[in-house]
A and B are shown apart, each in its own frame.
Chain A
Amino acid sequence: MTTHANIPTTAAAIADGVRSGALKAVDVLEAHLAQIAAREGEIHAFNLVTADEARAAAARVDADVAAGRDPGILAGVPIALKDNMCTRGIPTTCSSKILEGWRPPYDATVVQRLAAAGAVAIGKTNLDEFAMGSSTENSAFGVTFNPRDISRVSGGSSGGSAAAVAAGFSPISIGSDTGGSIRQPAALCGVVGVKPTYGTVSRYGLVAYASSLDQMGPFSTDVRDSALVLEAISGHDPMDSTSIPQAPLSLQHVLSQGVEGLRVGRITDMPSGADPDVTARLEAAFDALKAAGAKIVDVEMPSMKYALTAYYLIAPAEASSNLARYDGVRYGLRVNATDTNAMYSATRTAGFGEEVKRRIMLGTYALSAGYYDAYYGKALKVRRLISDDFARAYTKADVLLTPTSPIVAFPVGEKSDDPLAMYLCDIYTIPTNLAGHPAMSVPFGTGAHGLPVGVQILAPTLGEQVMFKVAASLERSMIAAGGAK
């Protein structure tokens, strides 16, 4: 998608070129910085572009290649990081005024692993404040617009990361997904987005929103690049106590394996509400997989309709606890007052935006004496029901297929005054986070107004390999049909 000839568009091709010496990492970087200079003004994918640091990192990669040292599997690949991942010495804001100016004293594990693999971090991308939102309109630093139609939202909360890849600013970006925050913007911007199994990618250095739901993952223009990045960033990390003790994922070798005999589940009692242009693409995806040899099977998920309720009680409850740390004492904003209690309130009132306050209030309420059993306690039990639904479904099916988002990218401002309407954008993505399973969105043609539609592939815990097989098959069918991948 970059306009520069000679520079490949995928991470895999860039890394191959840089590793072989056919490409210089510094030239790859300059081509992407030029693309940013050309379009960032109208898109606003970034809170910060770190051009100087990126130039130094790219030069180190080239020096490694020249000296015969292994530069890593992502050698010279420009990469954009959602601005809720800690980068040592580089501002990390979560798109919130309360963290403006904060320079983390350490790198997130994902940031360390990307650097070790030779990737070149080019900046920090915009998000809904503290990852709370579905449109990247709730940012203290302004909206991120959809590169496919700049009058529309990029989705959220990782809208900046999705837009960065869609606009050709970087072939890869990293996002975080608590209820769909990677998959939904990927669908709206027409790129691939993956939420791996909970515990597969370390959360160390990811600023916490809802700790039992948060997971990091990649955006890319094609399926292989997401597989490549996951191989680089997954695997056990002693710094995250919820990290699954296992080796990194191995995914690229399954991409060519095909889907013959695989059972692809259709959820018969799925909550309705997807627009007809979106369901038409879902049906086309079922047809494509059937044509490739998969079997389509019906499954029932009777508790899925309660997922939105469980999520919007559990996530705010965890957030209200996690965000208690922003008190003006150790970092970020402080609004001075005569005593500490007054300082806490003054700081938090000035520093948090409206949606963050709304979720903190909702979560505090759901956890407060007298309401805990009726709301939070009940939501945890509903979470179990949903997880049990998935377990039953996966005895009949290897993967499930749903829309990623019920609608294509909507106009900026359309839902900003109606929190519940915004929450409904996540109805197909939320159940996965509650269960902790992997899921990914693959672009699969266009719907209304020629805007991208994503199809979501869901798989059981640690089922990334089968999920990627299906994703690669869908991608092949799009290419065969003459569509852009």
Chain B
Amino acid sequence: MSESPSERISAEVVVKVSRLARLDVTPDEVQRITTQMAGMLEHFADIDALDLSDVEPMTQPYPLSNVFREDVVVTGLDREEVLANAPAAEDGRFRVPPIVGLDG
């Protein structure tokens, strides 16, 4: 990673990332975000020179694994209370627009 800030992230990559994140960005926003992210990535380049080949990644601060509970039936959330929060619900389920585009 020895690229200069402008090479670190391009407008093209920002557009791709925005699609992955399900966010719509205007051309103006793409320019602003590209500049801001390039600045941040430039700051974050301080770790580039570190030799981390023998370092174990740390994903959690307190080591707990295989956390199980007893396999017993417990009361879940109230369905009506949950669906009362939904933007659209029908027949006890969440209602959404067509998943496949109408034209295809």
Contacts and interface: CB of A to CB of B under 8 A. Distances in A.
Bound together: yes
Main secondary structure of the interface of A (DSSP, over half): helix
Q: How large is the interface on A (under 10, 10 to 19, 20 to 34, 35 or more residues)?
A: 35 or more
Contacts of B85: 102-103, 105, 330-332
B78 interface: yes
A344 B19 CA distance: 11
A387 B50 CA distance: 16
Q: How large is the interface on B (under 10, 10 to 19, 20 to 34, 35 or more residues)?
A: 35 or more
B46 A306 contact: yes
A179 B55 CA distance: 23
A195 B94 CA distance: 38
Contacts of B78: 105
Interface string B8-29: 0100011011101111100000
Contact of A238 (B52, B55, B69): B69
A364 B56 contact: no
A331 B100 CA distance: 22
Contacts, number: 162
B92 interface: no
A365 B16 CA distance: 9
Contact of B62 (A305, A382, A384, A436): A436
B59 to A, nearest CB: 6
B47 A362 contact: no
Interface string A381-404: 111110100000000000000000
A69 interface: no
A379 B9 contact: no
A420 B39 CA distance: 8
A343 B97 CA distance: 8
A435 B50 contact: no
Interface of B: 1, 9, 13-14, 16-18, 20-24, 33, 36-37, 39-40, 43-44, 46-47, 50, 52, 55-62, 64, 67, 69, 77-78, 81-82, 84-88, 94, 96-102
24 contacts: A103-B84, A105-B85, A238-B69, A242-B67, A309-B47, A324-B22, A330-B86, A331-B85, A332-B87, A334-B88, A339-B100, A340-B97, A343-B96, A343-B97, A344-B22, A345-B24, A348-B21, A361-B23, A364-B21, A381-B50, A381-B52, A384-B55, A387-B61, A436-B62
